[in-house]
Structure 1
Amino acid sequence: MIAEELANRLLEAAKARGAMVTTAESCTGGMLGAAITDIAGSSAVFERGFLTYTNAAKEEMLGVSAATLSAHGAVSEEVAREMAAGALARSHADLAVAITGIAGPGGSDNKPEGRVCFGLAQANAPLHAETTDFGPLGRSAVRQFSVQNALMLLIEALETPRA
């Protein structure tokens, strides 16, 4: 229910700004795009979604650098930034959000289960990235919280006045 409320709020904010949105998803497997397109009228603001589950897909579809993947791993703010920038560059959208993480089970000491990195790109603005450690809540919960967080990032970007 929360994702539906956030998706409705995103649609309202994007329509008010006349903005189109694109998504680049890894660990959420298209759940973010589905949450947005579950709302009637989403075609007015949702331009496209990239589902890039493998490193090869991230490189081929979004232009993520093999060097970045090698140096930092797929679950990193560096990769999230490149995913968002690539989605923005390869779409007709005004705003892009990216999600890459470890939904579980599994993980490591350096990258534990529940760690998710988000990237945000928009024209004429610096790239933004952040990491959230949701913890070992289980695959489904981590993915749901990731969708909610990504929706909030988009909403905040659209509702924040530009200088």
Structure 2
Amino acid sequence: MDTLDELADFMKRHQLLLVTAESCTAGLIAAHLADVPGAGELLDCAFVTYSTEAKARCLEVDFGTIARHGLSSEAVAAEMARGALRHSRANVAIANTGVADNAGDGNTPPGTQCFAWAYRRADGGDQAEVFTETRRFHGDRNAVREAAAEYALLRIPHYCAPRGGA
């Protein structure tokens, strides 16, 4: 899948409704999907949780997970995605957290982005399958954020295709 229009067609065919839980991208994932005509059928809502407190308050990310794994971690991204699904009517969640530039925590290289995709299958009740990845993007702060947002969206078919293929 190479374009957002192709992604939108895929999402419509498979009745996927997205919620995002964004830290580093600060709403860009949702904004990119909103650029597609008919995005109202594809996007339920977006949580922008930049602070640790917002992650805990809005998405139920456990402070212990943050302490054990760090703010920029797949474990935190996974909890963000699960929390976003719990607080929306969506069946797909994308979460990201990371460091876009040198202003990070000092332990995580600039450009590092941790992602989670959570997919609640129609036959799965409240259980969601969660998939995580860490990627590093290059460029200035905004180039990293843009690349991360596009990457996150275009990975939906990889992780969220209904059983039996895309």
Q: Please name the residue that 1:92 is paired with.
A: 89
Q: 1:142 aligns with which of 141, 144, 153?
A: 144
Instruction: Compute the displacement of 1:161 (Å).
Output: 4.1
Instruction: Compute the displacement of 1:46 (Å).
Output: 0.6
Gaps of 5+ in 1: none
Instruction: Compute the displacement of 1:70 (Å).
Output: 1.4
Partner of 2:82, secondary structure, is helix
Q: 1:156 aligns with which of 134, 155, 158?
A: 158
How is 1:40-119 mapped onto 2 (pairs within 5 angstroms)?
40-107=37-104, 110-119=107-116
Residues 85 and 162 of structure 1, relative CA distance in 2, 3 Å threshold? same
Q: Please name the residue that 2:134 is paired with.
A: 131
CA distance in 2, matches of 1:26, 1:75: 10
Residues 23 and 42 of structure 1, relative CA distance in 2, 3 Å threshold? same
Gaps of 5+ in 2: none
CA-based RMSD: 1.6
**What TM-score, normalized to structure 2?**
0.88
Q: Please name the residue that 2:6 is paired with.
A: 9
Instruction: Compute the displacement of 1:35 (Å).
Output: 0.7
Instruction: Compute the displacement of 1:11 (Å).
Output: 1.4
Aligned residues: 157
Identity of aligned residues (%): 37
- Check whether the contact 2:21–2:80 (CA below 8 A) recurs between aligned residues: yes
- Check whether the contact 1:106–1:112 (CA below 8 A) recurs between aligned residues: no
Counterpart code for 2:137: F
Q: Which has the higher helix share?
A: 1
Residues 138 and 57 of structure 1, relative CA distance in 2, 3 Å threshold? same
Instruction: Compute the displacement of 1:76 (Å).
Output: 0.2
Counterpart code for 1:162: R
- Check whether the contact 2:14–2:162 (CA below 8 A) recurs between aligned residues: no
Post-superposition Cα deviations, 1:52-90, rounded to whole Å, max 9, x if no partner, equal: 011111101111001111111210000000001111111
